Amino acid sequence: MFTGLIQSLGTIQFQSGDRVSITCAQQTAEVILGDLAIGDSVAVDGICLTVEEILAQGFLATASRETLSRTRLGKEKLEYNSVNLETSLRVGSKLGGHFVTGHIDGVGCLETVEQTVNSWEISFSAPESVARYIVPKGSITVNGVSLTVAESNTDGRWFKVAVIPHTYAHTNLYLLKNGSQVNLEADILGKYVEKLVNFPKSPQSITPEFLIENGYV
């Protein structure tokens, strides 16, 4: 489990097979590597990867077929090799973003970037696997970064976020260009609600009438 608050930037390189080498930025490497152990989880551009070997400046992990098929790692050659890094959430730690699982739902595409007085407004297109869960003021994870949906169209296939200067400068969002692919993870709460609402054998179906009867108006 992660928060979507990026701790460091790093670079990624493919090794033999599906193994990847992650090298942490020197100035923030200690944040990631300080107490890292074999078997720990690290979010790499929002992808939960398991540490298999620790290196002097990074670690090795394996990207499974499922990971490659659902993320931009398995798409065409990366436009850039900079990745956002976050170690897993520790019990008792502050939760400043939102609950992020590190399980990517689909690959989106950057549409526009506009600099305003106090933020960067960035819009993305999203596949249906993610779009169904996107709502205005809801949470979305883009390349591992926890963001709030500022605006979206009805079906969620287009959405806009406002990124503050600190986040823009300290993540790989500043490297994105029109057409850049990004890893998207929808808010897990929406998935559970959808499951409960649509599950036909539920002892108590959650309907508008049920919600009204129980005080949700």
In tens, the pLDDT along 133-187 reads: 999 999 999 999 999 999 999 999 999 999 999 999 999 999 999 999 999 999 9
Q: Which of residues 2 and 202 earns the better pLDDT score?
A: 2
With beta carbons less than 8 A apart as the criterion, state whether 40 and 22 touch.
Answer: no
**φ, ψ at 63 (rounded to 5°):** -100, 110
> Does residue 208 sit within a domain?
no
* Residues 40, 113 share a domain: no
* Residues 113, 191 share a domain: yes
Q: Which residues contact 167 (CB under 8 A, 6 or more apart)?
A: 6, 145, 173
> Does residue 79 sit within a domain?
yes
In tens, the pLDDT along 90-139 reads: 776 777 778 899 999 999 999 999 999 999 999 999 999 999 999 999 99
* Residues 61, 18 share a domain: yes
Q: Which of residues 128 and 16 earns the better pLDDT score?
A: 128
Query: Could you tell me the pTM of the whole model?
Result: 0.87
What is the distance between the alpha carbons of residues 158 and 125, in angstroms, rounded to a whole number? 4
In tens, the pLDDT along 64-76 reads: 988 988 899 877 5
* Residues 52, 115 share a domain: no
* Residues 83, 122 share a domain: no
* Residues 121, 75 share a domain: no
> Does residue 203 sit within a domain?
no
What is the distance between the alpha carbons of residues 132 and 148, in angstroms, rounded to a whole number? 16
Beta bridge partners of 165: none
* Residues 184, 134 share a domain: yes
As for how many domains the chain has, the answer is 2
What is the distance between the alpha carbons of residues 208 and 217, in angstroms, rounded to a whole number? 9
* Residues 110, 66 share a domain: no
> Does residue 184 sit within a domain?
yes
Among 81, 86, 75, smallest CA distance to 127 is for 75
The three-state (H, E, C) secondary structure of 16-53, written as one string: CCCEEEEEECHHHHHHHHCCCCCCCEEEECCEEEECCE
* Residues 77, 49 share a domain: yes
> Does residue 70 sit within a domain?
yes
79 has a pLDDT exceeding 70? no
> Does residue 202 sit within a domain?
no
Which domain covers residue 41, as residue numbers?
Answer: 8-87
Please compute Rg for the chain using Cα positions.
18
> Does residue 94 sit within a domain?
no
Largest CA distance in the chain: 59
CATH of the domain at 168: 2.40.30.20
> Does residue 56 sit within a domain?
yes
